[in-house]
Amino acid sequence: MAMIPFHHIFGFIAVFLFFSFYGKTLVYPNSNSSNDLLNAIRKGSCTHIFSVPIFWDGIAQQLERTTAQQRAPMQELIKKMLAYNNRQISKEEAGFSSSKLFLRIMQKKVFGKQVQFCISGGGYLLPKTCSIINGLSYPLNNGYGTTEIGVTSVEQSSKVEKRLQGSIGKPFAGVEYKIIPLDTEHPFEGELCVKSKITHVEEIVNGVRSKTVLDNGYFHTGDIAFKDNSGSYYIKGRIKDTIIASNGENVYPDEIESYFRDIKYIRNLVVFGQRENNTEKIILVVD
């Protein structure tokens, strides 16, 4: 599904170059409206859907709104279906919700039953969104990349439990990741630095072309990450967005905002830090 602009590094590499190389068919929507996107996916029988978090959030929120309009028994069936497909309840507990018939009925209203692989990239993916999409048996995985380094990793686990953790996976062959701690209190968490042969080597700033300054071959992404025992990486936020609380803890706006998004009547919200008397207060603004 070709919904990401090809001037965006994600769309150019992961969609245009990758699928063109393998001679696959690209399906183009009439517009980026949700109806046109869904119609194109179903009509074109798209097997792979790569997009940014706002698209996945919209699909998840639409399902929530539709579910809320149903009667209690149907709401319970949908709730159990999502839980069962995410391996959170047993087949016996799910009952009819675990059946392929009910799953196909639900999938027909979204992308169809042909989807094999999905990627979210380019921003923070809400845990709830990841849970809902995977609960529909669409394998949604987190990916990572930037304009400067290209697409460098994506979670590829067949286990839904791993996908729900929000990992960006392990670096591709030829790509090296390393984490530089920002302080001594968080030795296993810090800035993600990337080294590979496809990292950009020159840049143009204010019309002046110059060589890119790398740190022993590593590009500093400005993203805060950590690695688990299996070698998978996770993105926690941006360095410039991180709030240092009065107790020294690092606070990530994306994480806090995700806790409030489901509260009824909230349309928009933002979290930021405000310096006051040598400390940084956490401010939440809600509309």
Look at residue 250 in the predicted model and tell me its pLDDT.
Answer: 72
How big is the chain, counted in residues? 287
Q: Torsions phi, psi of 280, nearest 5?
A: -120, 115
- The answer, yes or no, to whether residue 89 has pLDDT greater than 60, is yes
Give the chain's mean pLDDT.
Answer: 91
H/E stretch holding 175: strand 175-181
Side chain identity, residue 263: I
Mean pLDDT across 56-71:
94
Which residues, listed in sequence order, are joined to residue 281 by a DSSP beta bridge? Answer: 274
The dotted CATH code for 174-239 is 2.30.38.10
Which residues, listed in sequence order, are joined to residue 211 by a DSSP beta bridge? Answer: 202
Mean pLDDT across 220-232:
94
The token pair at 111 is 């992308």
Q: For the chain, what percent of residues have pLDDT higher than 70?
A: 97
Look at residue 262 in the predicted model and tell me its pLDDT.
Answer: 72
Q: Are strands 269-276 and 279-286 parallel, antiparallel or unpaired?
A: antiparallel
Which carries the bigger pLDDT value, residue 245 or residue 227?
A: 227
- The answer, yes or no, to whether residue 151 has pLDDT greater than 90, is yes
Helices (H) and strands (E) in the chain, counts: 10, 14
Look at residue 221 in the predicted model and tell me its pLDDT.
Answer: 95
Report domain 9-146's class. Answer: alpha beta
Domain ranges of the chain: 9-146, 174-239, 242-287
Q: For the chain, what percent of residues have pLDDT higher than 90?
A: 74
- The answer, yes or no, to whether residue 246 has pLDDT greater than 60, is no
Question: How far is residue 83's CA from residue 275's CA, in Å, rounded to a whole number?
Answer: 42
Look at residue 249 in the predicted model and tell me its pLDDT.
Answer: 67
